[in-house]
Structures are given as structure tokens and as C-alpha cells.
A and B are shown apart, each in its own frame.
Chain A
Amino acid sequence: MIGTVVFFIFAIMAIAAAWGVVTSKNIVHSALYLVLSFIGVAVLYVLMNADYLAAVQLLIYTGAVSIMIVFAVMLTLRGEVSESNPENRHWGWGALVAFLVFVVMGLVILTNGDWRILAAPWTSGGSAEDLSYLLLQRFMIPFEAAAILLTVALAGAVILAKGVKESK
């Protein structure tokens, strides 16, 4: 079953890259591992019949967001780059809490027998056409609100980074 093999390769790649993001001492390496993790998640979307979401993930996350993060890293880097991403004093507590949360979630996932999984998962849908019917008809108001949110975030980011000229 080739789908299973592809799933495990890319799921392990995404998780290992996420591990690299949070443990790397060099923040540039963290940013590059983050790109690898996004690519692994995009392949998981393809395996779940979400073609359009996989394309969006590749364009927005691995394209735009990671470029912006690399730019911010380059603009704020000072001191030695190999020590640019240190842990704080309480990282042990953070590791403990994250591990306990993972144990709880894993127990819930593995012991819950009432998922009501379909006998045969549907295989249609997931293309841009199917998604556009939902976005432009039934979810039109949230869609327009998201457009306004993006415009406001764009203007806000420019004003925050560049500053406003004082009016006379």
C-alpha cells in the first residue's frame, strides 16, 4: 500500500523537522526546519484528498510566511548566530507540561472507541471548485470578513513597522 508508506515518510519528516525547530540552537536552522515541517504537512493534506489546501499550504506557509520569518530573523540578528536561539531557565517545566499534554491527548485518541468513522471515507471533493461553492455561497460573510481582516493586518503591519508621520 503505497499511500501508507508515503504517509509515514512525510509524517515522520514533519515531526522530526518540528523537533528540529524547537531544539536547534541556531535560529536560521530553526526557520529552515520549519519550512520542511510545512512541506510534510502539505503532503499529508494531499493524502487526505485536500488538494486545494495542500496548494494553499505550499503557497502561503512555505512561500510567504517562512520568507517573512527569515527576513525578521535577518533583521534582528545580533551576536553569535550559533547561540541565537537559547532556552530560558524554565525549559524543563515546559517540556514536562508539553509531554503531559501529549500523554493526555494520546490516551484520549487511542482509547476512544466512538469516533463513528465511516465504513468507506468519501473520495470526491477537495478541489478549488468544490471549495469555492462553499466559500462564495454558504460562508460568504466570513469570507468577506477574512478579506477585511487581511487588509487591516496589512495596513497595521506597515504602520507598526514604519511608523506614522505626526500631523502638524
Chain B
Amino acid sequence: MNLSNLSVGLSTYLLVGAMLFCLGLYGVFAKRNIIAILMSIELMLNAVNINFVAFNRFIWNQKIDVHYLLTGHVAALFVIVVAAAEVAVGLALVITIYRNRQTTNVDEFNWLKW
């Protein structure tokens, strides 16, 4: 791969998205604090949004369908909405669990296990 191919194209954006996604995946697997896990989920959602916008930018053919030109942007916007709702409910759950159990460690969230 020569260096002139390294200009900013679709695959470069997709690689950035893949790196962010895998770092978030590692955080979900490896972290013990539930707030750190929520932060990693936000990283993964950001990576997905980068992919939506990049595909919309580079491979949407304007001549075929001009009315749906920004569909990738709309999808990314809905992902942002769902992420905001998810983080609100998730943090409310974290605070409730902390109030009852005095812990944020996911290894101790096991009292539904028998």
C-alpha cells in the first residue's frame, strides 16, 4: 500500500470507526466499574455514527435518489437520541443500585443469580 492511497477516503474513515469500536469493545469486556462500561458503550455508538456518515458521504449516488440524500445523517441522529435516552436511564439505574448496595462493581451485581 503506497502512501498516496492514504489520503482521506472511505476506508480511512471506516478504519477510524473500527478502532474506536474495538477500544469500546475492550472497555466493555475488561472494566469493572459500571460507569466505565457505559462510557465504552458511548465510544462504540460514536464509531457506528462515523460509519453512517462516512457511507452517506462517499457512496450515496445523488443522481439516483435526490430526496433521500441525507438518510445516513438521519440514522446517526436517531442513534444519538437513543444514546442520550440510554445514558439517562443507565445512570439512574447506577445511582439506584449504588444507593442500595454501596458499590459500582459489576462483579458484585450478582444477587439475581442463584
Contacts and interface: CB of A to CB of B under 8 A. Distances in A.
A1 B107 CA distance: 50
Secondary structure of the B contact surface, majority rule: helix
A98 B74 contact: no
Contacts of A21: 23, 27, 36, 39-40, 43
Interface size class of B (residues with CB under 8 A): 35 or more
B70 A15 contact: no
B88 A68 contact: yes
15 contacts: A14-B16, A14-B20, A22-B24, A27-B33, A27-B36, A37-B46, A53-B49, A64-B84, A93-B29, A115-B10, A115-B58, A118-B60, A125-B69, A134-B74, A149-B81
Interface of B: 1, 7-16, 18-33, 35-36, 38-40, 42-43, 46, 49-50, 53-54, 57-62, 67-71, 73-74, 76-78, 80-89, 91-96, 98, 102, 104, 106-107
Interface of A: 1, 3-4, 7, 11, 14-15, 18-19, 21-22, 27, 30-31, 34, 37-38, 41, 44-45, 47-50, 52-53, 56-57, 60-61, 64-65, 68-69, 71-73, 75-76, 78, 84-88, 90-91, 93-95, 97-99, 101-102, 105-106, 109-110, 115-118, 121-122, 125-126, 130-131, 134-135, 138-139, 142, 146, 149-150, 152-154, 156-158, 160-161
